[in-house]
Structure 1
Amino acid sequence: MTVTLIILALSAFFFVNGKIRSDVVALCALVLLILFNILTPEEALSGFSNSIVIMMIGLFVVGGAIFQTGLAKMISSKILKLAGDSELKLFILIMLVTAAIGAFVSNTGTVALMLPIVVSMAVSAKVSPSRYLMPLAFASSMGGMATLIGTPPNLVIQNALLGAGYEGLSFFSFTPVGIICVFVGIIVLIPLSKIFLVKKDEKKIEKKARNKSVKDLAYEYQIAQNLFRVGVKKNSLFCGKTLVELNITGKYNLTILEIRRESNTQNPFMKTIDQRLAGPDTALQEGDVLYVLGQFAQVEVLVGENHLDLLDTHTAEVSDKHVKQDVNFGEMGIAEVLLMPNSQLINRAVKDSGFREKYRVNVLGIQRGGKYILQDLKDEKMHSGDALLVQGTWQDIARLNEMQSEWVVVGQPLAEAAKVTLDHKAPVAAAIMLLMIVAMVFDSIPIPPVAAVIVAALLMVLTGCLRNVEDAYKTINWESIVLIAAMLPMSLALEKTGASSVISSGLVNSLGGFGPVILLAGIYFTTSLLTMFISNTATAVLLAPIAMQAAINTGVSPYPFLFAVTVAASMCFASPFSTPPNALVMSAGKYTFMDYVKVGLPLQIIMGIVMIFILPLLFPF
């Protein structure tokens, strides 16, 4: 028992520390349980064949298809338009629509889907998007409480009940709890978001009703202050050479954004300037105007060493006209891209990102924690939640939307962000989703829930709702899958060694004398506190057997205690790092850690107090 508790404590420590990936920590704990003969290899690996794990894999695929076909985007954007110009209506609709989607697909995917839509709608309503993005993240977690498949902790307590010989929960057993969570969330967040989430400088933006245009983004990332025009002279060393041969980024730490070249057309009604992205194979010519991003000192060195012409702000690019230069991207656009928590770009340098090679876009800057990284970008490693400013043609920027599992394009101009594309496979995806739910809801249909999910996932691939099997695999968050599969046997180890009995007995002895409600409160807030430091899934896996044993020792029903575990594990709002949705909106909303404390902590406490009184009413002791 002592060894098991030490392994458990070490696992919790490394989960909190965060320097080692949570799935690696879980696998290490699993190996230790085998090496110390606490579990047999068969018992230790049983988690990987557990129906919960298989269901989660299938649900990731189904959710990915719902997003890729544009079905969820179409429904949510049409509903949100009902708000019109009403700030309060928009707030309530965002919460309700997000919660409704979050009831059936992953909360991270829900936030990724809703982010660009909400930003667009907020700007239309002349309100700062920061007021809506944190409630958006919270609503996705609240919605997950409404169905059996809404969030992994729900499946964890279902597994705990079935494993102990109790009757399992139905698909909509969670719905009353989810509805109450959403209702409490709306009531509490309406005033808190108004007070704490709209900053003073953003209130000015509201009054001016400014859209987040290309010029706004250029100003925000200080592009204008660091953008210079350089002309290629007749006898310049650049003439006839490609950008890959010149290696300007490597030598001078500068970025060539685009090349403007006088067009050969003689038609006076046609444009006289060709704009082209500065690709590696682009050969420079005399008269080309290069748009160079970087420090002025480095630009001077570039100009001096290569016999170039540093153009002043009044020199026109064509003819002898003189105009004042402005940041005018024309056919070239700029947009913000927010990295997803499980993106393959995490911890990779910008130069290795493949943005230029695969998508023909440049990375101009990184927003991280309210700060802007604009220099030495090529060697800068990207972090989860970073907002990247990218530049390229509008067509290439639109192509970035194809990789929703990797990033979310949130900073496009209003007209671009508001576009909704309805794929012809959306009705097929909707039909498959509904059939899966029907099979899981009605006991008269002789299909086990895990089989219904697997069939739905296969149909999504076979009917073309996902482009191919590789796309299906990309939708799966393998870190979460391995974490759950490796941690589920920990509960078995706790039971085999008697550790869960010791811990639950301690809870019962200290709190049980005050009645089951106080014991329920102790389990709820213990889970709530632990979830602030480790993932909600890991917390649920660790606390579910303890809550079960505590209920048995007290002689009461385990249902309210297990519901306390899943609700407390999912309703964690006081930290940006407690759930992926919280972290995902941090950069987009320009939130600080204290913003989550000011808004999330009161909500988390109020939600806990409400649940302690509501759960025994819904699921009597």
Structure 2
Amino acid sequence: MLITIIILAISAIFFVSGKIRSDLVALCALVALLLCHILTPEEALSGFSSSVVIMMIGLFVVGGAIFQTGLAKIISSRILKLAGKSETRLFLLVILATAAIGAFVSNTGTVALMLPIVVSLAMSAGMNPSRLLMPLAFASSMGGMMTLIGTPPNLVIQDTLTAAGYEPLSFFSFLPVGLVCLLVGIIVLMPLSKLFLSGRKKREDDAKSGKSLKQLVNEYGLSHNLFRLLVTETSKLAGSTVIELDIRRKYGLNILEIRRGDLSRHRFLKTIAQKLASPDAVLQANDILYVTGDFNRVKEFADEYAVSILDGHATEETNRNENSLDFYDIGIAEIVLMPTSLLINRTVKEIGFRDKYNVNVLGIRRQRDYLLRDLGDKRVHSGDVLLVQGTWNNIARLGRDGTDWVVLGQPLAEAAKVTLDYKAPVAAAIMLLMIVMMVFDFIPVAPVTSVMIAGILMVLTGCFRNVEAAYKTINWESVVLIAAMLPMSLALEKTGASASISNALVSGLGSYGAFALLAGIYFTTSLLTMFISNTATAVLLAPIALHSAEQLGINPVPFLFAVAVGASMCFASPFSTPPNALVMPAGQYTFMDYVKVGLPLQIIMGIVMVFVLPLLFPF
């Protein structure tokens, strides 16, 4: 028992210091328990097969899909409209919305659903996400106190009461307690989060990240004079190749892309295929050509080949939904020619970017001038910057294979930022399906199973570019941290450390009266939950609280509520609850951030509950 407590204490010291990564500290503690023969290898590795850990992995994938499809941005923009320009109103909306969802969905699921939305919301509002993410995690736990199914400790005390022959609690017996928790949380978190979380530095982007896609589009004027041309059934273009049209020489126009896709009949699984306007690309009926150039020349071309100009003369800014220049499969990037390049003084046509790398040159930036027309005959100079267009992989290949130029920015990183917004309805439907499976008991699907189903569906329906993109959304530091710390609770129970601590504290306070006993049970539960799971703590302390109350001859209900609230309202460490761990990487929090914000909230919540619980449930 002593060895287990020493290992736990040393781990806590390293967690607080922050000099070693938290997941590495947790793994070292796990190895120490193995070497001291406190846990068997099977027991030590049980955390990695825990449903909590598997659920976390699945929820990272679901959250990533919500972000990747732009669904997070859509929802956050609606919330932002309600909040207006008030930071306080935005803070309250996030807390209240999270708590409302948390009353019916597991707190881990609530945070995973809200996390991408809140990050997008904070970025849109110009706030640091860290100001909202820790309160988000705490609010999900507070919301869980409002209903019987909100959090596992609530069900634990229900079982303890009914097993002892008492009347069962109703679904909303917890609502008054949950509302008090929420009120206390809002009052305490507003100043603490502003004091300790607002001043945190935002993550600096890589200095080599280059310009954003939107900046490149605006700088080279690609969004100006952008037209969509529909190849009709009777058009002369159907069956022709791009090189046969010779549109650039004849009309001075540039085909940026060919887009084809089924946008109406199969809406749920709809896809948009973007094709580069390569010379051998064959045009088909119903293709949409994205063309830039002078409107009069576009009209002349459209009349001659019997194609329809869609949406009139519109630009990306004026008609974003229909006439936008998207980068789902095709991207753009700048490359700068080296002074020693062998390509200098050769024409764009002679260099053969299209033939060798399957990319088009859309523009040349020469000091402050932008050359956008008749590029094939333009000779490149030392220091020229070329804007190229192609598939993301081909642009990335330019960076790997080219010795005469340097690709500015990180094309694949930019590709990852492009939202697949046409998949937002799919992601929304899958998210709602997951919530329904979690909320309604008559659906015989465990929460972890519903999360796994949702994660797999997100990948299969194309809400990610590929499976690798889904894997990249998983934060393995948080997963390993929780998985390695879960067996610590088993070690504390196995060695009798947790039982000895709880029995000693509770029995010692029983002689001082009901309030002292209630306070002892609450803060013992709160302390133990910092090191072992809240469910395990509730299972351990609920019978002790019940017997202690019966020995004093008083109502056990407030004491059991003290166990439930103490186990759920644990905010002082990142690994005390999965929601705390989930927001840690996104908010760039350290262990001490949880101590600064969470510990005062945890103590104040305990003091308030010691006085409120007897008022709601008299002794």
Tell me the distance in 2 between the aligned counterparts of 1:289 and 1:505. 77
Question: Does the CA contact (< 8 Å) of 1:540 and 1:569 recur in 2?
Answer: no
Question: Does the CA contact (< 8 Å) of 1:143 and 1:178 recur in 2?
Answer: no
The amino acid of 1:121's aligned partner reads A
Question: Does the CA contact (< 8 Å) of 2:34 and 2:44 recur in 1?
Answer: yes
Q: Give secondary structure in 2 for the equivalent of 1:569.
A: coil
The amino acid of 2:135's aligned partner reads F
Question: Does the CA contact (< 8 Å) of 1:261 and 1:289 recur in 2?
Answer: yes
Tell me the distance in 2 between the aligned counterparts of 1:96 and 1:564. 21
Matched residue, 1:218? none
Matched residue, 2:317? none
CA offsets, 1:406-429, max 9 Å, x none?
xxxxxxxxxxxxxxx672333333
- Aligned-residue offset at 1:506: 2.5
Question: Does the CA contact (< 8 Å) of 1:146 and 1:176 recur in 2?
Answer: no
The amino acid of 2:548's aligned partner reads T
The amino acid of 2:121's aligned partner reads I
How has the CA–CA distance of structure 1 residues 184 and 595 changed in structure 2, closer, same or farther, with 3 Å as cutoff?
same
Give the counterpart of 1:121 among 119, 122, 125.
Answer: 125
Identity within the alignment, %: 51
- Aligned-residue offset at 1:464: 2.6
CA offsets, 1:507-548, max 9 Å, x none?
2144343456545545655777899xxxx6867588556645
Question: Does the CA contact (< 8 Å) of 1:30 and 1:489 recur in 2?
Answer: yes
Q: Give secondary structure in 1 for the equivalent of 2:488.
A: helix
Tell me the distance in 1 between the aligned counterparts of 2:444 and 2:428. 22
Question: Does the CA contact (< 8 Å) of 1:547 and 1:565 recur in 2?
Answer: no
Matched residue, 2:470? 472
Matched residue, 1:423? 421
Deviates more, 1:137-146 or 1:184-193: 184-193
Matched residue, 1:62? 62
> Mind listing any 5+ residue stretches in structure 1 that lack a counterpart?
123-128, 200-213, 215-231, 244-257, 275-282, 291-330, 332-355, 361-390, 403-420, 573-577
Tell me the distance in 1 between the aligned counterparts of 2:8 and 2:594. 32
How has the CA–CA distance of structure 1 residues 547 and 428 changed in structure 2, closer, same or farther, with 3 Å as cutoff?
same
Give the counterpart of 2:443 among 442, 445, 452.
Answer: 445
How has the CA–CA distance of structure 1 residues 464 and 157 changed in structure 2, closer, same or farther, with 3 Å as cutoff?
farther
2:145 aligned with 1:141: no
How has the CA–CA distance of structure 1 residues 466 and 615 changed in structure 2, closer, same or farther, with 3 Å as cutoff?
farther
Q: Give secondary structure in 2 for the equivalent of 1:38.
A: coil
The amino acid of 1:473's aligned partner reads Y
Q: Which has the larger radius of gyration?
A: 2
Question: Does the CA contact (< 8 Å) of 1:197 and 1:595 recur in 2?
Answer: no
Matched residue, 1:554? 548
2:395 aligned with 1:401: no
After superposition, residues 144-155 of structure 1 pair within 5 angstroms as 144-147=141-144
How has the CA–CA distance of structure 1 residues 8 and 426 changed in structure 2, closer, same or farther, with 3 Å as cutoff?
same
Tell me the distance in 1 between the aligned counterparts of 2:12 and 2:159. 26
Matched residue, 2:229? none
How has the CA–CA distance of structure 1 residues 289 and 79 changed in structure 2, closer, same or farther, with 3 Å as cutoff?
same
Matched residue, 1:50? 50
CA offsets, 1:204-245, max 9 Å, x none?
xxxxxxxxxx9xxxxxxxxxxxxxxxxx9xxxx9454899xx
Tell me the distance in 1 between the aligned counterparts of 2:51 and 2:170. 15
Question: Does the CA contact (< 8 Å) of 2:523 and 2:606 recur in 1?
Answer: yes
How has the CA–CA distance of structure 1 residues 137 and 259 changed in structure 2, closer, same or farther, with 3 Å as cutoff?
farther
TM-score with structure 1 setting the length: 0.52
The amino acid of 1:15's aligned partner reads F
- Aligned-residue offset at 1:22: 3.3
Aligned length: 430
Tell me the distance in 2 between the aligned counterparts of 1:542 and 1:447. 23
Question: Does the CA contact (< 8 Å) of 1:15 and 1:22 recur in 2?
Answer: yes
Matched residue, 1:564? 566
CA offsets, 1:224-268, max 9 Å, x none?
xxxxxxxx9xxxx9454899xxxxxxxxxxxxxx9844759598x
Tell me the distance in 2 between the aligned counterparts of 1:462 and 1:41. 36
Deviates more, 1:421-430 or 1:159-168: 159-168
Tell me the distance in 2 between the aligned counterparts of 1:171 and 1:429. 31
How has the CA–CA distance of structure 1 residues 82 and 496 changed in structure 2, closer, same or farther, with 3 Å as cutoff?
closer
Question: Does the CA contact (< 8 Å) of 2:430 and 2:454 recur in 1?
Answer: yes
RMSD: 5.7
Question: Does the CA contact (< 8 Å) of 1:139 and 1:182 recur in 2?
Answer: no
Tell me the distance in 1 between the aligned counterparts of 2:170 and 2:45. 27
Question: Does the CA contact (< 8 Å) of 2:53 and 2:479 recur in 1?
Answer: yes
How has the CA–CA distance of structure 1 residues 610 and 198 changed in structure 2, closer, same or farther, with 3 Å as cutoff?
same
Give the counterpart of 1:489 among 482, 487, 490.
Answer: 487
CA offsets, 1:579-614, max 9 Å, x none?
674785579xxx9x99995x7776555434334445
- Aligned-residue offset at 1:88: 5.0
Matched residue, 2:235? none
How has the CA–CA distance of structure 1 residues 466 and 519 changed in structure 2, closer, same or farther, with 3 Å as cutoff?
farther
Q: Give secondary structure in 2 for the equivalent of 1:466.
A: coil
Question: Does the CA contact (< 8 Å) of 2:152 and 2:535 recur in 1?
Answer: no
- Aligned-residue offset at 1:564: 0.8
Question: Does the CA contact (< 8 Å) of 2:47 and 2:485 recur in 1?
Answer: yes
The amino acid of 1:44's aligned partner reads A
The amino acid of 2:82's aligned partner reads L
After superposition, residues 146-545 of structure 1 pair within 5 angstroms as 146-147=143-144, 179-188=179-188, 238=339, 240=341, 260-261=366-367, 285=381, 288=383, 399=415, 401=417, 423-515=421-513, 517-522=515-520, 540=534
- Aligned-residue offset at 1:567: 0.9
Tell me the distance in 1 between the aligned counterparts of 2:112 and 2:538. 23
Tell me the distance in 2 between the aligned counterparts of 1:472 and 1:156. 32
Tell me the distance in 2 between the aligned counterparts of 1:399 and 1:198. 30
Tell me the distance in 2 between the aligned counterparts of 1:452 and 1:170. 26
Tell me the distance in 2 between the aligned counterparts of 1:138 and 1:191. 11
